[in-house]
Amino acid sequence: MMAADQNLIRAEKISRQYRLGETLIHAVNEISLEVTAGEFLALLGSSGSGKSTLLNLLAGLDRPTSGAIHVGGRNLGALDAEELARYRRDTVGMVFQSFNLLPRMTLEENVELPLRLAEVDHREREARVAEALERVRLGGRKRHRPSELSGGEQQRGALARALVNRPKILFADEPTGNLDSVNGEQILLLLQEIQSTLGMTVIMVTHERPLAERFTNRIVVLSDGRVVRDSAKELSEIRGKQ
Amino acid sequence: MKGRDLTELAARNLREAILRNSLTTLGVAVGVASLVAMLSLGVGLQTLASQRLNKSGLFDAVFVTSRRGMRGIGGPPQQQPKPAKVEGAKPLDQTAKQEFEKLPNVTEVYPQVRFLTEVRYAGNSYSANVLGLPESSRSTGAFDGITGKYFSSPTADEAILHADFAKELSPQVATLVGKDLVLRYAARQQKSTQDIAAEKDIDKQLDDMMSGGISIVSREKKLRIAGIIESDPSAGIAGFGGGRVFLPLRVAEELHPAQPNDVQEFVRAGGSSKAAYAALTVRAKSPKDVLKIEDAIKNMGFMTFSLLDATRSLRLVFTVFDLFLGLFGSLALTVASLGIINTLVMAILERRREIGVLKALGATDGDVRSLFFAEAGAMGLLGGVFGVALGWLIGQALTWGTTLYLRRQDLPGVKISYVPWWLALSAVAFAVVVSLIAGLYPAGRAARLNPVEALRYE
């Protein structure tokens, strides 16, 4: 029972293939992975290694060609489109490399968007938006549009949007990819803080090994769609030496 | 997503691409305007025709004649009663008139007083048919373009001339108004039995006895010309056309002119005729009452005729007319719906990434579809409302232009375009429905977008 609770995510031999003309691309090739609740996991790999595809599969944005993904005991493959959308809305938060804040909306409205989709009561929304923005230290910028914010602020705004529905798992796809080192570090500090204070599971895709080693507690290295190393133990050793 | 949130998001999206969406909405508005203008023209013309025809008295009148051998007015021969029934037929006299007046929904019963006369004006003689007009004829619309005035009172010694006849009297017809003319006509005179007995001239007494006391005498009547009209009011009121001089009915009755049926009545009664009418016109409250009144009068033993069937044909013609106008009007709206499809497909391309983000945040296919539907519906609603307003304006402009043209022709203005509330509401609803149908494909396409591919889109 205890083991089932701890393994929030369990991927069993999942594959994702694409057909590109005549060629069949194995973006993810029979990966099995278990993620414990509260982990801060980095999916590390070079471009085309399949890390973003794996993240999309775990986040319910895409479906595997074969294999099964169980999240909180639910098989994502058995969910229909609407149930999968509800999974993304209620269980998952997403942060992207290019922030993906909607340019027409203010920061506040962007953060409110998942609450609108979840049909949360109007009065409750205000409080939750304010709370999420305070958590990422953007309470004073809520009326600004994304174009009026710096890259770091935009990513923090995106993080607030991902947190506002109080998800169990936060997926971050190259969250520092478009940021300078200072802002990148700030984002990772925030992710670390969220993971530790809220007990949230964070799965982050990155190609920056030093940052992954510094902030996460587990690194899964991918290459050609396969897991080549799962270094949770190694990482604690590295930290011990530091 | 809740309806309010959906509306807010749709409104925001529409505002952001304001120029393109405004142009698309304008396209819908023009489509709806063309539809509304066309149909308002159809409705307006139908209303105008109905009003005119109703006012003319053609459709709310029942023409009654006696079954005593007089043919019904305009009725086909096979509808006439068989000669065997003629013997017991009732006379169309004062008693019958009073019975008709008592029938429900009857507003007026009046006789047809028509006679041939000689008109003397400025030393010349003219032959003319005279017709007595009831007071209700004032509202028939035939006097809308009158030169001069309608009769100053129902008993005024005044005449209204038909323009064709007036031209015979004087080329400057307007100068005739206020002038006097003299009618010379044959009057019916009936002596009582006492009067016949008191007659001292034995030859005259014998003549009177032979004729039942009825004699035809020549009389004159001086009348002032009150007005001149272009149209013929007698066509609707009495069932016959061809009146050239019109008098107030009461004045015409008091003249006791000899009527065509006098001789017939005299022969039938063997020389002891009572005054009877050639025909009576029974006016109903509205055309829908005509049928019942007609049946009631037929049951009393009289012959009737009405133009109710003609009204039904008229409705059919206008329904077909409206249908065609509506079809032509809808063409513009069809073109406008293509504009909506184009705008929304463009929006999908532009907002592909946004759709991806929405889906990543948990929007269902239904949410995305509803959002695009709401945008299409909003464009339809706005376009519909503006379109109705624009269509109404076009209709007003058409009415204004027509009135201007008619006034230049010395004719009264008419309202040829009419936008009833049902047309306005239907047009807006139609615009929304067409817009939603136009939004079906784009909304479906947006809903089906793969979020991963949509997020990858730059």
Measured in angstroms, the CA of B436 and the nearest CA of chain A are apart by 22
- pLDDT value for B86: 46
Interface test with B, best of A51, A54, A104, A125 (most B CBs within 10 A): A104
DSSP designation for B180: E
User: Scanning every residue of chain B, which has its alpha carbon at the shortest distance from the alpha carbon of A60?
Assistant: B360
Residues in chain B within 8 Å Cβ distance of A59: 360
Averaged pLDDT for residues B212-223:
78
- pLDDT value for B303: 85
Cα-based torsion angle of the residue sequence B16, B17, B19, B20 in order, rounded to the nearest 10 degrees: -160
Q: CA separation (Å) from B356 to B7, B70, B352, B364, B457?
A: 20, 88, 6, 11, 9
Measured in angstroms, the CA of A57 and the nearest CA of chain B are apart by 10
- pLDDT value for B73: 43
CA–CA distance, B332 with B39 (Å, rounded to integer):
13
Does the distance separating the beta carbons of A165 and B362 come in below 8 Å? yes
Q: What is the fold of B60-112+277-306?
A: Alpha-Beta Plaits (3.30.70)
Nearest to B12 among A81, A104, A114 (CB): A104
ipTM value, please give it: 0.91
pLDDT greater than 60 at residue B72: no
Residue A63 tokens read as: 């479906």
Q: Round the average pLDDT of chain B to a whole number and report it.
A: 80
Nearest to A83 by CA among B365, B356, B358: B365
Q: What percent of chain B has pLDDT over 70?
A: 81
Q: Round the average pLDDT of chain A to a whole number and report it.
A: 89
Coil/strand/helix, residue B42: helix
- pLDDT value for B82: 46
B139-151 residue pLDDT tens: 776 777 788 888 9
Q: What is the domain partition of chain A in residue ranges?
A: 2-91+168-241, 101-166
Confidence at B80, pLDDT banded by 50, 70, 90: very low
- pLDDT value for A236: 59
B15-62 residue pLDDT tens: 888 888 888 888 888 888 988 888 888 888 878 877 777 666 667 788
One-character DSSP codes across B189-212: EE--HHHHHH---HHHHHHHHHHT
- pLDDT value for A237: 57
Does the distance separating the beta carbons of B13 and A116 come in below 8 Å? no
Residues in chain A within 8 Å Cβ distance of B455: 61, 96, 100
Measured in angstroms, the CA of A117 and the nearest CA of chain B are apart by 5
CA–CA distance, B117 with B184 (Å, rounded to integer):
6
Q: What is the domain partition of chain B in residue ranges?
A: 3-54+314-456, 60-112+277-306, 114-276
CA–CA distance, A157 with B73 (Å, rounded to integer):
90
> Which amino acid type is present at position B175?
T
Question: Chain B neighbours among A 52-91 (CB < 8 Å)?
Answer: 56, 59, 61-62, 81-82, 85-86, 88-90
Nearest to B434 by CA among B377, B371, B366: B377
- In terms of pLDDT, which residue wins out, B194 or B362? B362
Nearest to A81 among B357, B365, B452 (CB): B365
- In terms of pLDDT, which residue wins out, B330 or B213? B330
- Residue B215 CA neighbour count, 13 Å, CB half: 15
Tokens 């039904």 sit on residue: B312
Question: Chain B neighbours among A 86-105 (CB < 8 Å)?
Answer: 86, 88-90, 92, 94, 96, 100, 102, 104-105
Does the distance separating the beta carbons of B366 and A117 come in below 8 Å? no
- pLDDT value for A85: 93
- CATH class of domain segment(s) A2-91+168-241: alpha beta
Contacts of B174 (CB under 8 A, 6+ apart): B147, B148, B228
Does the distance separating the beta carbons of A102 and B354 come in below 8 Å? yes
Each residue's pLDDT tens digit in chain A (242 positions)?
Answer: 344 446 789 999 999 998 888 888 899 999 999 998 889 999 999 888 999 999 999 999 999 999 999 998 899 989 999 999 999 999 999 999 989 999 889 999 999 999 999 999 988 999 999 999 999 999 889 999 999 999 999 999 999 999 999 999 999 999 998 889 889 999 999 999 888 888 899 999 998 888 888 899 899 999 999 999 988 755 555 555 55
pLDDT greater than 80 at residue B165: yes
Does the distance separating the beta carbons of B364 and A94 come in below 8 Å? no
DSSP designation for A144: S
Interface test with B, best of A18, A58, A80, A117 (most B CBs within 10 A): A117
Does B13 contact A at CB distance below 8 Å? yes
User: Scanning every residue of chain B, which has its alpha carbon at the shortest distance from the alpha carbon of A173?
Assistant: B455
pLDDT greater than 50 at residue B85: no
Residues in chain A within 8 Å Cβ distance of B356: 100
- In terms of pLDDT, which residue wins out, B371 or B240? B371
**Residue B79 CB-density burial (10 A; 0-12 exposed, 13-18 middle, 19+ buried):** exposed
Measured in angstroms, the CA of B20 and the nearest CA of chain A are apart by 16
Does the distance separating the beta carbons of A104 and B13 come in below 8 Å? yes
Residues in chain A within 8 Å Cβ distance of B350: none
Does B164 contact A at CB distance below 8 Å? no
pLDDT greater than 50 at residue B77: no
The region that residue B428 occupies, defined by phi over 0 for left and psi between -120 and 50 for alpha, beta otherwise, is: alpha
Q: Decide if B418 contacts B43 (C-beta within 8 A).
A: yes
Nearest to A119 among B2, B366, B455 (CB): B2
Does the distance separating the beta carbons of B357 and A116 come in below 8 Å? no
Nearest to A102 among B5, B357, B450 (CB): B357
Confidence at B70, pLDDT banded by 50, 70, 90: very low
Tokens 């323009």 sit on residue: B163
